[in-house]
Structure 1
Amino acid sequence: MQISDLPYPDPGVPDARSGPRFLFWLGRNQLRGQLRSLAWGLLHFASVAGLPYGVGYAVQAVVDGSGSRLAAAGGLIVLLGAGIALGDTMLHRTAVTNWITAAARVQQLLARKAAALGSALTRRVAAGEVVAVSTGDVEKIGWFVEAQSRFLAAAVTVVLATVGLVVYQPALGVVVAIGMPVLALAVLPLLPRATRRADRQREKAGRATELASDTVAGLRVLRGIGGEELFLDRYRRASQEVREAAVHSARMWALISAVQVLLPGLLLIAVVWYGVHLAREGRIAVGDLVTVYSAIMTLAYPLRHFEEIAQAYSFSRPSAQRAARVLALDRGTRAGEGGAREAAGVPTGDLYDPATGLLAPSGLLTAVVCGDPDAAGRLADRLGGHAPMDDDGPAQPSVLLGGVALDELSLEEARTAVLVQDKDPVLLSGTLAELFDVPASGAVGPREALAAAECGDVLDALSQACVDEDPMRARVTERGRSLSGGQRQRLALARSLVTDPEVLVLDEPTSAVDSHTEARIARGLRTLRRGRTTVVFTSSPLLLDRADRVVFVREGRVAAAGEHRKLVRGEPLYRAVVTRETGEEALVRPAVQGPEEDSDIDIEETA
């Protein structure tokens, strides 16, 4: 795989059982690139390690006064220099390719997982952690994958050069052979502490990123309540903790680097001292001493890769662990296997949740009242096929559509069958026509959906900034920042209506609009979705009064079901949630006001 071939047609199925397993899987899937990098690395390091032999041969030729051997030594040095230059250039090229392609594979896997989980991702993983994994962690993972082949080439070179010294000059080669393992393994006792400090730094940096992400997401609210300074102070403290952890980690790595410099120096001193003693006794030639001396000097270069691979692993392991944790998330299929059922088209029929007892009859508008917004969001996710998971699989039984478990559908079938609009839907930048360019049945056009969602004022606002008379060519800014909260909400609702799914689940679709607009949206939604199954999570009387059926969910189970007005009269707890009454007021009210008085109340008009 070359950089020009990116993105991958299929990034593969990762081994997300642990961080080390994920790193091994990445390296194994780039075997061809790793082998190329290894080959060029061997050429480069072998040329570097062979250079001392050429220098020593040249020195001995000068001592012996042999011009032919000096010329041969010069030719050897030129050849080794060419090998160093070519090997270094191609090693850098292949290493960077391995780094970028590994990072791209991880990013594609994360993007695919985010698309599969949808809005459930940020409910199961902190937004800051997702940002950290998809940015800094991806680079660190790519660094370790790329460093593997260079480390292996350096290790092979060190072994071969050491063996060569033993064969070339046994008296000094034995000293080098004893010293090299000590140099390579001397830092191992320091690595656990360095790894712990690196992990602590990554943990604190991840928390700081999460805090910054949450602060930016809630900036408008913070400004409204004057909380900017409070959160800024929290971020300052978190940033200082990251700085202190980074300093502690850097001190340990500085110690490791010092050891990597000190020990080769001590070995060099020992070899030179012993070599000079042997040269005085006439047991070795001057050229041999120069060769061994130069070999130790050059072997310090590949030895540095031992430190680099340790550092790369220490930094990438927690990053890979976080990436594996995200990639291991599943939308709720049994044993993580979506699409186990033989494809037989998108199922139709009643939508039923065995865990809560919630039933949404086919073709009807069902309103669900939970009282707890978080519980409503989790239940909406379940209805979309995103069941909460535990270690052994789904924590609760799957939702059924027409008697078919959504867990048994492939992701494409499940999303075609059931569309869930989150409480805070996102609008991407682009023209209005591009916003509505979504998978759809074709039965509902954008203009019909815009009319049903009461987007007339939204079109007017967008048209003012558009030179074209066609409002569908008006541009929507990123996340619709130029629009109000209610306008963004209505555009998102219109986009969901255009898709025209078999089952549409809406979580508080009108929470940011006024009551008059909400009443018109309720009429438009009921008309446009006639004959289609629609589930609306809301506590608004205007929407509840338009629903064919209302379901009251309390403490995770269906507590009551029926028409809105009957539930208001007969269920005190339901009335308390819908009318915002206290429990005592809800219990007293039936004794004061009878059904006859309440039956003529038009909720839409009073609103």
Structure 2
Amino acid sequence: MSVPMKTPDNGSIVDYSALPGPGAQPSRMPPLDARMWTLKVALSQHPWSYIASVGMAITFVCNGLTPVVVGRAVDEAIAVGELRRLVFWILMLMLLFATSILVNWVARYMMVRSQQLVSHDLRTMVTDRIQDPRGFRGRGRTAGGLLSVASSDTQRVGDVVMMTVFPVAEVASIIYGATLTFLISPWLGLAVLLGGPLLVIIALRTARPLQARSVERQKAIAQASATATDVVQGLRILKGLGAIVTVRRRYEEVSTNAYRKTVHASAAEARLNGVTEASGAIFVSGIGIAAGFLALNGQMSIGELITVVGLTQFLIMPMTMLGKNVASRWASAEASAKRIREVLGAEFERTSELEADTAQRIISRLPRGVTVVGADPQVDPDPIIATLESLPRTRVIVAPHAADLFDGTVADNVHPDRAIADEAIRVASCDDIPGGADKMVGEGGRMLSGGQRQRVALARAIAADAEVLILQDPTTAVDSVTEQNIAGQVAAFRKDRVTVVFSEAPAWRAVADQQLEPAALATLLAEVPAGEDRADG
């Protein structure tokens, strides 16, 4: 069963594990409490990931056919001097290589495509949850920690798609190699069939320390990344408090811990690589020596000897990589998946929204036109704004005093439709910004002045064209002339809709259709019997 979550818009149920991405086919994400969640996520891009698995298996088998073709060429052409047969087998080898290249390209394309789509859909799910206005209940979640989950953890779980592709190809290779070897020598075929699982078992047992250490390394690196992000985010405040030295010491501690955990895990990984490579070499050497004795005793031809030796050389890679990949990658992916599920399934700080009928009654009491709400030292406006913020976001936009901008042009920050963006830019008096709507604003609007940032944020709120627009001191950073222009243009643009402005500025009071004190607005917002008509001011 998936985790149900009420949207702030209309009270309907949303499952963050089912949100689609913009790819050709959104991933079929499993419910958050599903068993083997990581594996199901890795398979969520079927049938494309299945196509990648089959294609990679065909590629591996084509590579394994190379020693077979060479062995047949030796027996049927070179040993007896048959030029035509030699040309035939050379053409067969060329066809084999062409097939392998083509199928390998398709398989890897499908695999990488599936990886990226799964990662994208996970990032979308996580960022949607992070941006949910109801927030997180319980333990504090820092911006750096959430960034680590939304970036590295989602990418790591997406990469686990590879674990559904290569193991299929590796198992197919072992079965194929054992079958061909069995046709040449049953005892050697049996040895290959038993040796593959044995090498996997050796890799899995050797990788046990790596599994635990890789999880510890991952946690330490994530903590270091999160700490660095949080430090950068609050750098100005830290400088003002004179806490740079303290924070530096703290970051040095987490960075050193990440370094030590990385070295510790790398040592375990080196031991795993050494053991698996040595085991594979011993196995291949044993098969090769046994095949040599059989050839000396006349129990197999020179071509068959070449085939067996070539097959064992081919099999060493899938035999060693199967256990190594499962052991080293899966534990890290499971740790990342756990953190992703914790974020997606976290409880909300605000668990309920106003019911639709209650919201309708509140909205119906708000007068049309511009309503200016002044300040009252005896009345805290925050509860009033919180009530307005709890109204459905499809109908009400609450624009804060300071809004963040993202890297891009002014128009990009206002609205994706250029015509709508241009109109909102005009209403918010942003058209005098040097460079106009195409000016790059920089991350956080760093390439704009304070007044310009405030006007772009206002234009974005206006472009939303909400039924109810709430503005909190929208023009404190602009000059008086510009403020008058903005107030007049906003009043004219939204004359038939509800606009509530929390401001003491004379320019807004001059264009107000009505003026209220905070206490009067609080009374107006009080719940009233259903069916009451809208106030007309």
TM-score by length of 2: 0.71
Describe the SS at the equivalent of 1:30: coil
- Deviation of residue 422 (structure 1)? 4.4
**Residue 234, structure 1, aligned to residue 212, structure 2:** no
Instruction: Check if 1:488 corresponds to 2:453.
Output: yes
- The 2-side partners of 1:511 and 1:473 are apart by 22
Aligned length: 490
The answer for the alignment partner of 1:350 in structure 2 is 362
Does residue 265 of the first structure (1) align with residue 281 of the second (2)? yes
Q: What amino acid sits opposite 2:362 in the alignment? A: D
Unaligned runs of 5+ in 2: 1-20, 525-537
Identity, in percent, stands at: 21
* Conserved? CA contact 1:502–1:532, under 8 Å: yes
Indicate the residue corresponding to 1:46 in structure 2.
61
Give the 3 Å change call, closer, same or farther, for CA 45–10 of structure 1 in structure 2. closer
Q: After TM superposition, give the deviation of residue 151 of structure 1 in Å.
A: 2.3
Q: Which residue of 1 aligns with 2:533?
A: none
Residue aligning to 2:270: 254
- Checking the alignment, whether the CA contact within 8 Å between 1:107 and 1:134 is kept in structure 2 is no
Offset of 1:172 from its aligned partner?
A: 2.4
Aligned twin of 2:518: 550
CA-CA distance at 1:174 after TM superposition: 2.4
SS across alignment from 1:174: helix
**How far does residue 202 in structure 1 lie from its aligned partner after superposition?**
1.9
Question: Aligned runs of 1:452-467 on 2, under 5 Å?
Answer: 462=433, 465-466=434-435
**What's the CA shift for 1:15?**
2.1
Q: 1:510 to 1:419 in 2, by over 3 A?
A: closer
Cα deviation digits, residues 515-551 of structure 1 (max 9, x gap)? 999x9899989978888666788999x999x973536
Tell me if the contact between 1:144 and 1:313 (Cα under 8 Å) persists in the aligned partners.
yes
User: Which residue of 2 is the match for residue 185 of structure 1?
Assistant: 201
Instruction: Look up the equivalent residue of 1:313 and give its one-letter code.
Output: W
Tell me which residue corresponds to 1:67: 81
Q: Which residue of structure 1 aligns with residue 332 of structure 2?
A: 315
The alignment status of 1:419 with 2:419, answered yes or no, reads no
Equivalent of residue 86 in structure 1, options 55, 76, 99: 99
Task: Measure, in 2, the Cα distance between the counterparts of 1:9 and 1:282.
Answer: 58
Q: Within 5 Å, which residues of 2 pair with 1:442-461?
A: 446=424, 450=428
| Mapped contact 2:206–2:272 kept (Cα < 8 A) | yes
Q: 1:94 to 1:267 in 2, by over 3 A?
A: closer
Normalising by structure 1, we get a TM-score of 0.64
Partners of 1:187 and 1:368 in 2: CA distance: 70
Amino acid at match of 2:518: V
| SS of match in other structure, 1:128 | helix
Shift of 1:169: 0.5
In the TM superposition, residue 228 of structure 1 has moved relative to its aligned partner by 3.8
**Are 1:295 and 2:260 counterparts?**
no
Looking at structure 2, the residues matched to 380 and 190 of structure 1 have their Cα atoms a distance apart, in angstroms, of 59
Structure 2: how far apart are the matches of 1:536 and 1:118?
A: 25
User: Residues 533 and 202 of structure 1: is their aligned pair in 2 closer, same or farther, counting only changes over 3 Å?
Assistant: farther
Cα distance between partner residues in 1 of 2:62 and 2:409: 58
Superposed counterparts of 1:545-584, under 5 Å: 548=516, 550=518
Change (3 A) 1:225 1:24: same
1:141 equivalent to 2:109? Answer no
Secondary structure at the aligned position of 1:265 is classed as: helix
CA contact (8 A) 1:349 1:362 kept: no
Task: Check conservation: 2:288, 2:312, Cα contact below 8 A.
Answer: no
Alignment check: 8 A CA contact 2:116 2:158 kept = yes
Give the stretch that moved more between structures: 236-245 or 420-429: 420-429
1:75 CA displacement: 4.2
Q: Would you say the 8 A contact 2:372–2:503 is kept in 1?
A: no
Q: For 2:361, what is the secondary structure of its paired residue?
A: coil
The match for 2:9 is: none
Unpaired runs of at least 5, structure 1: 1-5, 353-359, 385-398, 407-413, 553-559, 564-607
Q: Which of the residues 49, 53, 58 maps onto 1:34?
A: 49
Q: Which amino acid aligns with 1:291?
A: T
Could you tell me which residue of structure 2 aligns to residue 589 of structure 1? none
The answer to which structure, 1 or 2, has the higher relative contact order (CA under 8 A, 6+ apart) is: 2
1:537-573 Cα distance to aligned partner (Å, 9 max, x none)? 8999x999x9735369xxxxxxx9669xxxxxxxxxx
Match of 2:220 in 1: 204
**Contact map agreement 1:367 1:551 (CA 8 A) in 2:** no
Aligned letter for 1:205?
I
Q: CA deviation at 1:475?
A: 5.8
Per-residue CA distance 1:439-474 (angstroms, 9 max, x = gap): 89x9x9647853xxxx7xx877x3xx45xxxx6676
CA-CA distance at 1:34 after TM superposition: 2.8
1:8 is aligned to 23
Deviations 1:193-226 (A, max 9, x none): 3222222222222222222222222233334344
Matches within 5 A, 1:383-532: 384=389, 406=392, 414-415=393-394, 417-422=395-400, 424-428=402-406, 432=410, 435-437=413-415, 446=424, 450=428, 462=433, 465-466=434-435, 476-485=441-450, 488-489=453-454, 491-497=456-462, 499-505=464-470, 509=473
Would you say the 8 A contact 2:396–2:466 is kept in 1?
A: yes
Counterpart residue number, 1:164: 180
**Would you say the 8 A contact 2:182–2:190 is kept in 1?**
yes
Aligned residue identity for 2:469: L
